[in-house]
Amino acid sequence: MNSLSNNERYFVANPSPWPLITALGLFLLLGGFGLLLHDGPMLPSLLGAVVLIYSVSHWFARVIGENQLGCYNAQVNRSFRFGMAWFIFSEVMFFGAFFGALFYVRELAVPWLGGEGAKGAAHLLWPHFVAHWPLIEMPRSSDFTVPKAAMGPTGIPAFNTAVLLTSGLTVTLAHWALKRNARRQLWGWLLATILLGASFVGLQAYEYFHAYSELNLTLHSGVYGSTFYILTGFHGLHVTLGVIMLTVILGRTLKGHFTPAEHFGFEAVSWYWHFVDVVWLGLFIFVYWW
């Protein structure tokens, strides 16, 4: 695992202002958002977003610059790989919390409210409630926006599955092209991946619009609407982030970055893209279909 020889020098990063400024930007963004939730001013969160984007882009530019100058040895490269892999693992755990919530309400909480099992006494709260899933009629529906129907797997969700799976294929084709140093094919497949990802986000936005305007399915539609939107919403956010990352990578390939042997930046983004893909498969099965 450790290939640095005993007399090789380590790479150590110079002092940098960007971590501190990134922390400041995140603080302003989130603290400002907290103010917004209580009718406070818009300015702090906007300022936070600007600071955050500015500092993160400078930070990345710095790392890319160091890489282009050839500062990074094999060991640094491995640090980045391990770091990205563990970061994706943390993302898996983040989605795990929401999937866990979905399974819990679906398999335990809702049946208990309907009078099943060891905790069927919860049924006493709303004796008329009948357990079902997707949950359309809530225990106390009068408090909520009752949807007309649940979101089925056919139509846009099935099509979007095809779109995202295809994009997983195209990003791999782009990777193979990069390894063969076939730059034109690399650009083509990368561009295709970006377009597929963007169409996914666009279709998802259209689906949300449809759900809100026609199905009456909103965040306020009880626990079915809650789990539906938090899972698909955070996934959509990640796809959007992935599209931005892919666009940066496309820009870098156009500038001539990456070689057939060394292209960690590309690989990190493609790992991320595949992760987003796998999460979608889980969503399609457990949120839309099952």
Partner 1 sequence: MSETAEAVMGGEGHAAPLHGWRRWLFTTNHKDIGTLYLVFSLIMLFAGGILAMIIRAELFEPGLQLVQPLFYNSLVTMHGLTMIFLAIMPALVGLANWQIPMMIGAPDMALPRINNWSFWLLPFAFVLMWAGFLTPQGAPNAGWTFYAPLSTTYAPPSMDFLIFAIHIMGISSIMGGINIIVTIFNLRAPGMKMIDMPLFVWTWLITAFLLVFAMPVLAGAATMVLFDRHFGTSFFNAAGGGDPVLFQHIFWFFGHPEVYIMILPAFGVISEIVPTFSRKPLFGRVSMIYAVGAIAFMSAMVWAHHMFAVGLPVSAQIFFMYTTMLIAVPTGIKVFNWVATMWRGALTFETPMLWAVSFIFLFTIGGLSGLMLADVPADYQYQDTYFVVAHLHYVLVTGSLFGIIGAVYYWLPKWTGHMYNDRISKWHFWLSVISVNVTFFPMHFAGLAGMPRRIPDYALQFADYNMVSSIGAFVFGLSQLLFVWVIIQAIRGGAPAGERPWDGAKGLEWTLSSPPPHHSFPTPPSDELVHREGPHGYE
Q: Which of residues 194-253 bind partner 1 (CB under 8 A)?
A: 218-220, 222-227, 229-230
Q: Kindly tell me which residue out of 93, 127, 184, 261 binds partner 1, with binding defined by CB under 8 A.
A: 93
Under rule CB under 8 A, residue 257 binds partner 1: no
The nearest distance, CB 70 to partner 1, in angstroms, is 6
Under rule CB under 8 A, residue 68 binds partner 1: yes
Q: Which is nearer to partner 1, 78 or 179 (CB)?
A: 78
Q: Which is nearer to partner 1, 94 or 206 (CB)?
A: 94
The nearest distance, CB 133 to partner 1, in angstroms, is 9
Q: Kindly tell me which residue out of 46, 47, 49, 108 binds partner 1, with binding defined by CB under 8 A.
A: 108
User: Total residues at the site for partner 1 (CB under 8 A)?
Assistant: 85
Q: Hey, what are 27's tokens?
A: 């603080």
Under rule CB under 8 A, residue 16 binds partner 1: yes
Under rule CB under 8 A, residue 60 binds partner 1: no
Q: Kindly tell me which residue out of 43, 50, 53, 97 binds partner 1, with binding defined by CB under 8 A.
A: 97
Q: What share of the chain is helix, strand, coil (3-state, %, to 5)?
A: 75, 0, 25
Under rule CB under 8 A, residue 109 binds partner 1: yes
Binders in 170-189 for partner 1, by CB under 8 A: none
The nearest distance, CB 113 to partner 1, in angstroms, is 6
What is the total residue count of the chain?
290
Neighbouring residues of 10: CB distance < 8 A, sequence distance ≥ 6: 4, 75
The nearest distance, CB 92 to partner 1, in angstroms, is 8
Identify the DSSP state of 220: T
From the list 92-100, 168-176, 179-187, 244-252, the region that binds partner 1 by CB under 8 A is 92-100
CA distances (Å), origin 240, targets 47, 198, 204, 244, 247: 21, 7, 11, 6, 11
CA atoms of 184 and 93, how far apart (whole Å): 37
DSSP states along 221-252: SHHHHHHHHHHHHHHHHHHHHHHHHHHHHHHH
Binders in 116-135 for partner 1, by CB under 8 A: 117-119, 122, 125-126, 135
> To which H or E segment does residue 198 belong?
helix 183-210
Q: Which is nearer to partner 1, 68 or 181 (CB)?
A: 68
CA atoms of 209 and 73, how far apart (whole Å): 49
Q: Which residue has the tokens 């922390």?
A: 23
The nearest distance, CB 289 to partner 1, in angstroms, is 20
From the list 91-99, 151-159, 206-214, 270-278, the region that binds partner 1 by CB under 8 A is 91-99
DSSP states along 107-145: IIIHHHHTT-STTGGGGGTSTT----SS--S-TTGGGS-
CA atoms of 95 and 275, how far apart (whole Å): 11
The nearest distance, CB 117 to partner 1, in angstroms, is 7
The nearest distance, CB 175 to partner 1, in angstroms, is 23
Residue among 277, 81, 288, 85 at smallest CA distance from 196: 277
